[in-house]
Amino acid sequence: MTQTHADYRLSQLDQLEAESIHIIREVAAEFERPVLMFSGGKDSIVMLRLAEKAFYPAKIPFPILQVDTGLDFPEVMETRDRWVDRLGVQLVVASIDDAIAKGVVTEDGKTSRNRLQIGTLLNAIEENGFTAAFGGGRRDEEKARAKERVYSHRDEFGQWDPKNQRPELWSLYNGRLHEGEHMRIFPISNWTELDVWSYIAREGIEIPQIYFSHQRRVFERGGMLMTETPLNPCREGEVAEERTVRFRTCGDITLTGCVESTASTVEEIIEETAVSRVTERGATRGDDKFSEAAMEDRKKEGYF
């Protein structure tokens, strides 16, 4: 890192890092109660790393918030705990099971847990009085995301209004809020999937093991490879078998598909990502497949 910069040029990854750290510090300075939304996936781990760097040698001056779907991969939870221990940061867990028990959200057997995250998250934001919530969303993930600002204003219902966004000029972010409103903040908006992996490689960042190639009992559903677990058993006609796979995103175990891969190091993953012809969401996210505007619709309701 202490390389010399003969021509005062920063690599694009250094530029992205500098921009993200600037955004994180800006939020910490201007908002009363920020929180970092943490799913345990690679993007939120990169966010934690950036937050760690932004305030070093001080600790991260805000808590992290995880929505526990009850259907998370155990490997992801283990990684989360190690990060929390290492950084000494406060962890707030908003559990969907608790939210169901308290009647905050209703499980009707039809709504996926992914959708139940929305109400659970919004309730946690309100209960804790968080005014800004960092997310690891990137604009390259999805075309509705490409339209969202770094500071994404949410009304008192947590809704995003794509037609009424604040213009974002230079690096001057406007964090003004009315009572009950909050801001979603996306410091890694300008990163791509490949940038995230490159950063993980460069920084030697620990991520959940499920990102690396491993043996797993999987079955095909809707063109995706799903994990066989008691939470998500095979339906009629589906046959589980052992395959060599890895995950490209982390989410609900019942909805997140994996890909066949032998990539067992970050370098190999980068190589695979660089030549991949399918987006991570296209390959592995059941939740985005409901309709062409699935992500946009969920965001309008208050999703990440």
Partner 1 sequence: MAENITAGEQAVENVTTNMDLLRFATAGSVDDGKSTLIGRLLLDSKSIFEDQLEAVETTSKGKGYDYTDLALLTDGLRSEREQGITIDVAYRYFATPARKFIIADTPGHVQYTRNMVTGASTADLGLVLVDARQGLTEQSRRHAVILSLLRVPHLVLAVNKMDLVDFSEEVYDKIQAEFTQFATKLNIPDLEVIPISALQGDNVVNRSENMAWYSGPTLMHHLENVHVASDRDLVDTRFPVQYVVRPKSEEHHDYRGYAGQVAGGVLKPGDEVVVLPSGMTSRIAGIDLYDQEIEEAFPPMSVTVRLEDDVDVSRGDTIARVKNAPKPSQDIDAMICWMATTPLRPRQKLAIKHTTRNARALVKDIQYRLDINTLHRDQETKEIGVNEIARVQLRTTTPLLCDAYAQNRTTGSFILIDENTGVTVGAGMINTGN
Residues in region 191-210 near partner 1 by CB under 8 A: 192, 194-195, 198-199, 201-202
x/- mask, partner 1, residues 216-255, rule CB under 8 A, reads ----------------------------------------
Contact status, residue 135 vs residue 37, Cβ threshold 8 Å = yes
What amino acid is encoded at 119 in this protein? G
Closest CB to partner 1 among residues 70, 175: 175
CB distance 138 to 44 below 8 Å: no
Beta carbon nearer to partner 1, 209 or 276: 276
Specify which residues 113 forms β-bridges with: none
Candidate segments 107-115, 204-212, 236-244, 263-271, binder of partner 1 by CB under 8 A? 263-271
Closest distance to partner 1 from the beta carbon of 13 (Å):
5
Binds partner 1 by CB under 8 A, chosen from 75, 126, 155, 268: 268
Q: Compute how many residues bind partner 1; rule: CB under 8 A.
A: 79
- Name the minimum Å distance from CB 28 to partner 1: 6
Using the contact rule CB under 8 A, the part of the chain among 19-27, 31-39, 108-116, 125-133 near partner 1 is 19-27
Which among 16-24, 71-79, 91-99, 244-252 is the span making contact with partner 1, rule CB under 8 A? 16-24
Give first-to-last CA distance, the chain, whole Å: 33
The encoded tokens of residue 27 equal 């939020």
**Residue 288: how many CA atoms within 13 Å on its side-chain side?**
19
**C-alpha span between 304 and 44 (Å, rounded):** 12
Q: Does 270 bind partner 1 (CB under 8 A)?
A: yes
Radius of gyration, alpha carbons of the chain: 19
**235, two tokens:** 């339906």
User: Is 13 near partner 1 (CB under 8 A)?
Assistant: yes
Q: Which residue has the tokens 């919530």?
A: 133
Of 22 and 115, the one with the shorter C-beta distance to partner 1 is: 22
93 is a contact residue toward partner 1 (CB under 8 A): no
User: Shortest CA distance to 38 belongs to which of 4, 2, 64, 16?
Assistant: 64
| Interaction residues for partner 1, span 113-172 (CB under 8 A) | 139-140, 142-147, 162-163, 165-172
- Contact between 95 and 70 (Cβ < 8 Å): yes
Strands (E), 16-60: 34-37
Among 82, 86, 102, 176, binds partner 1 (CB under 8 A): 176
> 44-73: which residues touch partner 1 (CB under 8 A)?
52-59
Choose which of 85, 107, 238, 271 interacts with partner 1 (CB under 8 A).
271
292 touches partner 1 (CB under 8 A): yes
> Measured from the CB atom, is 106 or 171 closer to partner 1?
171
Distance CA 203, CA 3 (A): 15
Contact 265, 209 (CB under 8 A): no
Task: Find tokens 């950063």 and name the residue.
Answer: 199
Looking at residue 294, what DSSP letter applies?
H
